[in-house]
């Protein structure tokens, strides 16, 4: 019997906590929320403690916070329509750049694997790609492919390919055209019947899992040109197909999903206060995979769970954030 054991409840935020993000080395955690602050948590012995509280970077709620792949920078996305970049060059974290351009609330921010590109998205329906050059951030593209509020952006784990999720019920995939260095949408993932709140790549980058207000999770698989299964690829571009739908498990909106790069486990954050863990069945057909619900943590929080993220280094360690003002650290055991 698999269990999700609560290791610690981290309190300190006032009001809703929107997001948590692990440092790439897995020993530090950042969280952000309605109180317009970013809290950095670190381990002291076996206890998580507040290391720093970053204030005055934003004038409204901070929706998402994320570490750069090198672990030296933090990017934060805010309802104040800006993205702040924080670094530790002075010895403590300072906001040394503010990216402006979105017309209203910025909902998500993501660094590419190289750390050379940053993606942001907003209620203004656009996805922006920023080029990073020695602490200088330049907008390389403002992509208007979605027809509604864009909720999430996530880079491919190895390549400069970007995925986004939107209130228009779709997820989209973007790539730069090498010929004219123009960013364009190369695939639209349509199947959800309401807002797609979040998405996550698997460790190979061949699959994406999406979660939605329609209370389902969907697994999508990439079929490249010349694939052995004979799936047609018009325009010589990959085709993404929904190969699995997990329905009947969630009773309210699924706000976040994270695919663990070390264990392959899927975790979901749901509006019914439950954290669920799914495991792919070992012997299933890769073109029709099946997943088993291996753990359902009832009342994981006392209100909606907004975010879940697996520790990138410590297998089984999970962090969650909730409307109940708390961040929790969990350990998954089979």
Partner 1 sequence: MSEISENINPKLYKKANDREITAEEQNEDIADEFDAREIFDIIRNINDPEHPLTLEELNVVEQSLIVVDDKENKVDIKFTPTIPHCSMVTLIGLSIRVQLLRALPARFKVSVEVSPGTHTSEAAVNKQLADKERVAAALENSMLLGVINQCLAPRN
Task: For partner 1, give the closer residue by CB, 55 or 292.
Answer: 55
d(CA 58, CA 48): 25
CB of 216 to partner 1, least distance (A): 16
Task: For partner 1, give the closer residue by CB, 166 or 238.
Answer: 166
Task: For partner 1, give the closer residue by CB, 190 or 263.
Answer: 190
CB of 321 to partner 1, least distance (A): 13
Task: For partner 1, give the closer residue by CB, 48 or 167.
Answer: 167
Interface residues with partner 1 (CB under 8 A)? Answer: 16, 34, 60-61, 63, 79, 104-105, 107, 123, 149, 151, 167, 194-195, 213, 252-253, 271-272, 302-304, 323-324
Task: For partner 1, give the closer residue by CB, 214 or 280.
Answer: 214
Q: What order of strands is seen across the sheet that includes strand 136-143?
A: 106-111, 117-122, 127-133, 136-143
Task: For partner 1, give the closer residue by CB, 64 or 280.
Answer: 64
Are 303 and 15 within 8 A, CB to CB? no
CB of 11 to partner 1, least distance (A): 15
CB of 329 to partner 1, least distance (A): 22
Q: What distances in angstroms separate CA 110 from CA 22, 46, 186, 312, one per listed residue?
A: 13, 30, 19, 16
DSSP secondary structure string for all residues of 197-239: EEEEE-TTSSEEEEEETTS-EEEEEEE-TT-TT----GGG--E
d(CA 151, CA 328): 23
Are 279 and 294 within 8 A, CB to CB? yes
Are 110 and 119 within 8 A, CB to CB? yes
CB of 67 to partner 1, least distance (A): 22
CB of 186 to partner 1, least distance (A): 27
Contacts of residue 229, defined as CB under 8 A and 6 or more positions apart, other chains included, come to 223, 287
Q: Extract the tokens encoding 326.
A: 């708390």
DSSP three-state, residue 237: coil
Q: Extract the tokens encoding 216.
A: 């389902």
CB of 312 to partner 1, least distance (A): 26
d(CA 164, CA 255): 14
Task: For partner 1, give the closer residue by CB, 107 or 175.
Answer: 107
d(CA 101, CA 86): 18
Task: For partner 1, give the closer residue by CB, 148 or 290.
Answer: 148
d(CA 30, CA 45): 18
CB of 79 to partner 1, least distance (A): 5
d(CA 190, CA 193): 9
The DSSP output letter for 264 is: -
Q: What order of strands is seen across the sheet that includes strand 239-246?
A: 196-201, 207-212, 217-223, 239-246
CB of 36 to partner 1, least distance (A): 10
Task: For partner 1, give the closer residue by CB, 80 or 280.
Answer: 80
């Amino acid at each position: 019997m698999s269990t999700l054991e609560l290791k610690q409840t981290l309190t300190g935020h006032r009001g809703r906590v929107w997001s948590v993000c692990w440092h790439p080395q897995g020993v530090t955690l950042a969280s952000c929320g309605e109180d317009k602050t970013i809290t950095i948590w670190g381990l002291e012995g076996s206890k998580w403690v507040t290391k720093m509280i970053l204030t005055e970077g934003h004038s409204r709620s901070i929706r998402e916070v994320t570490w750069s792949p090198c672990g030296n920078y933090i990017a934060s996305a805010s309802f104040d329509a800006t993205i702040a970049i924080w670094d530790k060059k002075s010895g403590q974290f300072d906001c040394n750049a503010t990216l402006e351009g979105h017309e209203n609330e910025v909902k998500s921010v993501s660094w590419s694997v190289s750390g050379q590109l940053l993606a942001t998205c907003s209620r203004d329906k656009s996805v922006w790609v920023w080029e990073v050059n020695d602490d200088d951030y330049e907008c390389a593209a403002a992509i208007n492919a979605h027809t509604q509020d864009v909720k999430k952006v996530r880079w491919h784990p190895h390549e400069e390919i970007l995925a986004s999720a939107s209130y228009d019920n779709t997820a989209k995939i973007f790539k730069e055209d090498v010929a004219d260095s123009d960013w364009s949408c190369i695939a639209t993932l349509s199947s959800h019947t309401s807002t797609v709140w979040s998405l996550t790549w698997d460790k190979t980058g061949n699959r994406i899992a999406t979660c939605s207000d329609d209370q389902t999770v969907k697994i999508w698989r990439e079929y490249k040109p010349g694939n052995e299964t004979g799936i047609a690829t018009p325009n010589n571009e990959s085709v993404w197909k929904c190969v699995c739908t997990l329905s009947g498990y969630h009773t309210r909106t699924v706000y976040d999903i994270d695919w663990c790069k070390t264990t392959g486990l899927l975790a979901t954050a749901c509006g019914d206060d439950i954290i669920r863990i799914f495991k792919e069945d070992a012997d299933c057909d890769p073109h029709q995979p099946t997943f088993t619900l291996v753990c359902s943590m009832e009342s994981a929080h006392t209100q909606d769970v907004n975010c879940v993220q697996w520790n990138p280094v410590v297998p089984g360690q999970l962090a969650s954030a909730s409307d109940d003002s708390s961040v929790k650290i969990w350990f998954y055991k089979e």
